[in-house]
A = this chain, B = another copy of it.
Amino acid sequence: MGSGKLLLPIILHFVFISHAFAQSIIQVSPHKTRIAADHKIRVNDGLYCESWKFSIETNDAGSWNNIPSRCVKFVQDYMTGDRYLSDSDVVSEYGLDFAKTVNVSGDVKDAWVFDIDETLLSNLPYYEVHGFGYACDKGIDRDFYQMGSECNVGWTLPRDVFEWTNSFWRSEVFDENSFNDWVDLAEAPALPASLNLYNELKQLGFKIFLLTGRSEYQRNATEKNLLFSGYSGWEKLILRSHLDQGKTATVYKSEKRSELVNQGYRIHGSSGDQWSDLQGFSVAKRSFKLPNPMYYIA
């Protein structure tokens, strides 16, 4: 990072100069060349980030830890714009289309399994102030962004200059403590598409199981949050017990689905934002992968 620290003031100087003159430059100049180059980088980043998103959402990328720095702004735009809601809506519509084809039996054994985080509940308010996995853990002012090659470097930039320079950002490591504080608040809103599907499935007579990677000690806060955000009437809420600690999500969730199957349940559908919600053994007849370009859980 040494050379990065030396270069950064020079680059920042250049960016500020370019920014100040951006509106008035008509003639060919070094500034204009710089702007054109920046624009080209941005355009190519957009194309690359669409492709990166394709690869993570299809699980082609396998396990990943960080949003590529050039895609941080892309993820922010995706999550806070129309696309995240629209993608979730269409996934839920396909889920409901399938559910309506199921001949729900009178034996109350027709089941649907939902994950919780980024499936029933949206933690977007948390990730918004934790930089969608890309900012330092200090909170972000709405009009200015902190920027630096290290988290303890405190330059601030106007929003539009930030947009030129987002490739300097790096991902935030997931902080379990601050996330657990957020869970305890029990204020995560429902993902609207999932709340709608959930209620439709109840109407159709499905028994609904909630299978989450959250731990047993978070049961009260989780129930409180689910009720607060509009969910009710689930058959069972399954959380990690001390016996499940250390297992991958795929193994833990497969084992729990297997227990349901052994109890005679037919798992018709499963909804989750992670492939580890959907793959493994005792899988549902149909799986519904919700979008999540913010993080990956194995």
Contact = CB atoms under 8 A, between A and B. Distances in A.
Interface of A: 47-48, 50-52, 54-55, 57-62, 82-83, 86-87, 89-91, 94-95, 98, 286-289, 291
Given A62-B94, A98-B62, A86 B288 contact: no
Given A47-B82, A86-B48, A57 B55 contact: no
B57 A90 contact: no
B62 A289 contact: no
B90 A52 contact: yes
A79 B86 CA distance: 22
Contacts of A289: 58-60
A67 to B, nearest CB: 14
7 contacts: A51-B87, A51-B90, A54-B87, A55-B87, A59-B289, A60-B288, A61-B94
Contacts of A61: 94
A55 B91 contact: yes
Nearest to A88: B51
